[in-house]
Structure 1
Amino acid sequence: MSDMFRAIRISKTDDGQTVETARVGLDDLMEGDVVVAVAHSTVNYKDGLAITGKGPVVRKWPMIGGIDLAGTVETSDNPAFKPGDQVLLNGYGLSETHYGGYADKARVKGEWLVPLPAAFTTAQAMAIGTAGYTAMLCVLALEDYGITSGGGEVLVTGANGGVGSVAIALLAKLGFTVSASTGRPEEADYLKALGATTIIDRAELSEKGRPLDKERFAAGIDSVGSFTLANLLARTRYGGAVAACGLAQGADLPATVMPFILRGVALLGVDSVQAPMAKRRRAWERLATDLDPAKLDSITRTVGFDGIEQAARDIVDGKIRGRVVVDING
């Protein structure tokens, strides 16, 4: 029994799905050439959808949840890693088609692993997690397109969430003028402490709007989708760009081509799950220099292994701001 360890297992039944804390062994894990002793994971919105079953995240059953993990290499058949190396992993199908980070151990492909940057502990890396790493990918997409800090106001939607919170902190550190859209006006002080200068009520963007509205934003980072993204595009200034990475409001895009063909607005799709390793390493290198550790601490709370399921429900219900770290040993 000493070789057995805990895992959050999601199973499918005729009545829906079940979630349980199971005891598993290494022989139960999926194929891979590196075994990681997981120290920390996190609860992203996508994790919430997987645990609650409110989104079609899991594609193989049963599944160990957790789209992120950070920890120490225990055994390795991959020449790039050796026992004792600290590593992190975001995406690559974890919690979808491959067992994820909600377990004491994970067996994964070494080609998926990123060496833990020296600037971060495993807990800090998971405070960033997929949400923060995605926020950095969005910032990089805007920069690569040519958006600069002196170009005007940048809107971050879903501002209280993990992507939004980290995006605000990053943009502010880089000198951008940041506006934040939120449905929780009581969180204005929190958002301003991260670096937002203007708070916009979510209701202003979440309903059907004009195909082309008054130009306001130089750029945007959107994790919401649906009408919110459509309205952001309609208000983006000539030559601006919006990095889109989420669908908290919906997967639809009820927009017209008018912002694209009349104002030259660009819609930049950002994927974190299958992003090439070069892009991942670039994002983590930038996070190590451009994310204020004090701000990261201010947006993070920690739960133990037994707190995963409740945190997953809370994040889907919009009750969580910022980031949730899971102390796997806690």
Structure 2
Amino acid sequence: MTDKFRALRVSKTDQGPKSEFVTLTEADLMDGDVTVAVEYSTVNYKDGLALTGRAPIIRSWPLIPGIDFSGKVEKSDHKEFKPGDRVVLNGFGVGEGHNGGYAQKARVKGDWLVKLPDAISNEQAMAIGTAGYTAMLCVLALEKNGVTPDKGDVLVTGAAGGVGSVAIALLSKLGHRVIASTGRAAEADYLKGLGAAEIIDRNELSAPGKPLGKERWAGAVDAVGSHTLANVLAMTKYGGTVAACGLAQGLDLPASVAPFILRGITLCGIDSVMAPKSVRIEAYKRLAADLDMKKLAAMSVRAKLDDVPHLANDIVAGKVRGRVIVDVNA
């Protein structure tokens, strides 16, 4: 066990964020009661925004980005964890205001960690990542609001992205007929391989639309926001539910109250960053049971820490399909 470790650190400059690979020691880590030997991280849309400076994600400079990591506990002063425990972290401001997963070590609060189920390896945990864990939170929200396979189709927007890919795999295994909305027509076979029954072009949803449209789906998982989410709401069946978790098109919601007061639909906001531990444990328990690990492998690619800066640009540009597993020790 060595005190020195490698990390990708971002500094603030007049020209924007500057990324560099550095060698650090444990003295460079932030406060926390658990030190983790990080094995894997991943690249989420939020990580791309942080590294490229396209949005003010980073709040403390300089910082090690990476909102996710998995690994083994090295040291612990927290009652729930002991050395050797396999753990995963998603969110809680890590990679935003607290050093994150793009390093070989991390020191965090034990309350932010979740022990991994036996059925999910450390590598698979980062194939899942915040995107997949968020997808599971969306599915749980649909279930809790009565969206069952017999009620009708479920739409997934941003379907070829991380949230969308995992959501399709989960929903199809649970018996739902899934409609996938994507702007990447070339990904149709990929999406059908994950379980999508129908592919629609995102242009059907991305322009300003009517307050109410034809009822097309009983539920939806939306990672896009803006006009897309407004149109998704307008076309949700009576009594249906939409889980909203992203802003790829925009933060705005140019919608009307019509779907809510005329069709009684529910809009569920999904927050993965500060979700309480009980919710996280439930999500990982369900991921272990309901996510087809072969489909997870099919949607995942491997990368090294050195690859993260260019992957950050690619994910913001919509060029990353599925999930990226970053081996921080490779």
Q: What TM-score, normalized to structure 1?
A: 0.98
Query: Residue deviations 1:235-286, cap 9 Å, x none?
Result: 0011111000000010000111111111111110000000000000000000
Give 1:304's aligned amino acid: K
For residue 229 of structure 2, give the secondary structure of its aligned residue in structure 1: helix
For residue 93 of structure 1, give the secondary structure of its aligned residue in structure 2: coil
Aligned to 1:93: 93
Following superposition of structure 1 onto structure 2, how do residues 298-317 of structure 1 map, counting pairs within 5 Å?
298-317=298-317
2:153 is equivalent to residue 153 of structure 1: yes
Following superposition of structure 1 onto structure 2, how do residues 33-44 of structure 1 map, counting pairs within 5 Å?
33-44=33-44
Question: Aligned-pair distance for 1:15?
Answer: 2.4
CA distance in 2, matches of 1:17, 1:187: 32
Which deviates the most, 187-196 or 6-15?
A: 6-15
Give 1:312's aligned amino acid: A
Aligned to 2:9: 9
Aligned to 1:233: 233
Structure 2: runs of 5 or more not aligned: none
Aligned to 1:265: 265
Question: Aligned-pair distance for 1:14?
Answer: 2.2
2:13 is equivalent to residue 26 of structure 1: no
Question: Aligned-pair distance for 1:3?
Answer: 2.8
Aligned to 1:217: 217
Give 2:154's aligned amino acid: V
Aligned to 1:108: 108
Which deviates the most, 55-64 or 236-245?
A: 55-64
2:176 is equivalent to residue 207 of structure 1: no
Q: What TM-score, normalized to structure 2?
A: 0.98
Question: Aligned-pair distance for 1:7?
Answer: 1.1
Question: Aligned-pair distance for 1:300?
Answer: 0.1
CA distance in 2, matches of 1:46, 1:5: 24
Which deviates the most, 10-19 or 76-85?
A: 10-19
Aligned to 1:162: 162
Structure 1: runs of 5 or more not aligned: none
Question: Aligned-pair distance for 1:31?
Answer: 0.1
Aligned to 1:182: 182
Question: Aligned-pair distance for 1:5?
Answer: 1.4
Question: Aligned-pair distance for 1:312?
Answer: 1.1
Aligned to 1:56: 56
CA distance in 2, matches of 1:165, 1:15: 34
Find runs of 4+ consecutive structure 1 residues off by over 2 angstroms.
Answer: none
Query: Residue deviations 1:127-185, cap 9 Å, x none?
Result: 00000000000000010111111110110000000000000000000000100000011
For residue 150 of structure 1, give the secondary structure of its aligned residue in structure 2: helix
2:109 is equivalent to residue 122 of structure 1: no
CA distance in 2, matches of 1:181, 1:102: 31
Aligned to 2:139: 139
Query: Residue deviations 1:35-57, cap 9 Å, x none?
Result: 00000000111111111111121
Residues paired across the two proteins, number: 329
